[in-house]
Amino acid sequence: GESVGLHLPTLSVQEGDNSIINCAYSNSASDYFIWYKQESGKGPQFIIDIRSNMDKRQGQRVTVLLNKTVKHLSLQIAATQPGDSAVYFCAEKWDANRDDKIIFGKGTRLHILP
Amino acid sequence: ETGVTQSPTHLIKTRGQQVTLRCSSQSGHNTVSWYQQALGQGPQFIFQYYREEENGRGNFPPRFSGLQFPNYSSELNVNALELDDSALYLCASSLWGGSITDTQYFGPGTRLTVL
């Protein structure tokens, strides 16, 4: 079915450490994956994306890893800062969709410890 | 900020009433998608509008309807409100380029409470 799941609902990380947020997806037909960050009172904000023909993509302080064999996605945030506190969603899309809909997971809350 | 605006910010309605939510898309964007986000959940796709036509719909009943205007702004209408309709309603705009990687930019949402 259409579902994107997450392993951990809450993750606490020391400021300055690296954060790793994991996500399992169920649709093997998914072609495209996105990580969103949602701060309190705001809409989801695009962080980084990856196509299914790639296994790694890097951005500024963030890296997304894709393992299609086990249908697993992860977001790595380097040197976590207080401003990284938010809920992070992995999301997926597939080309067979006539529309452009994004299927979101339930989210992981990232809590930064001082 | 994404340039996507939504109004109102908050809204309280009673069961059975009707509500209209509004969205102004980012300049240059021609596609608007609406999502419902229940507390503690990820957003769920309601429907999408491209060039004033519905371009796809999620698992929502017909009492959820929408419009897109020539300036690409959009409305979401919900009739016969139910308690479970209480949620954050998000609008996302994008420029339809036919690519799966077309980025959707989200507005801040409208918080609807149904009593």
| C-alpha to C-alpha distance for A10 and A51, rounded to whole angstroms | 26
Distances (CA, A) of B72 to A26, A29, B69, B77, B106: 34, 31, 5, 16, 15
Partner-chain contact A42 B2, CB within 8 Å: no
How much of chain B, in percent, has pLDDT values that exceed 70? 100
> Which residues are registered as beta bridge partners of B25?
none
Interface of B with A in 24-63 (CB under 8 A): 31, 33, 35, 40-45, 47-48, 55-58
B73 inside 8 A of chain A by CB: no
Minimal Cβ distance to B108: which of A36, A42, A103: A42
Residues in B touching A96 (Cβ below 8 Å): none
A62 burial level (CB within 10 Å; 0-12, 13-18, 19+):
middle
What burial class does residue A107 get, using C-beta atoms within 10 Å of its C-beta: 0-12 exposed, 13-18 middle, 19+ buried?
A: buried
Q: What is the full per-residue pLDDT of chain A (114 aa) written as tens digits?
A: 334 444 458 999 999 999 999 999 878 888 899 999 999 889 999 999 999 999 999 999 999 999 999 999 999 999 999 999 999 999 998 866 666 788 998 899 999 998
Q: Give the pLDDT of residue A26.
A: 78
**B48 pLDDT above the threshold of 60:** yes
CA proximity to A70, closest of A26, A12, A16, A104: A26
The confidence band for B46, taking pLDDT boundaries of 50, 70 and 90, is very high
Phi, psi of B76 (to 5 degrees): -115, 125
Any A CB within 8 A of B2 CB: yes
Q: What is the pLDDT of residue A96?
A: 62
Question: Is the Cβ pair B48, A99 closer than 8 Å?
Answer: yes
Q: Which residues of A touch B47 (CB under 8 A)?
A: 99
Please state which of the ranges A1-10, B9-18, B35-44 shows the lowest mean pLDDT: A1-10
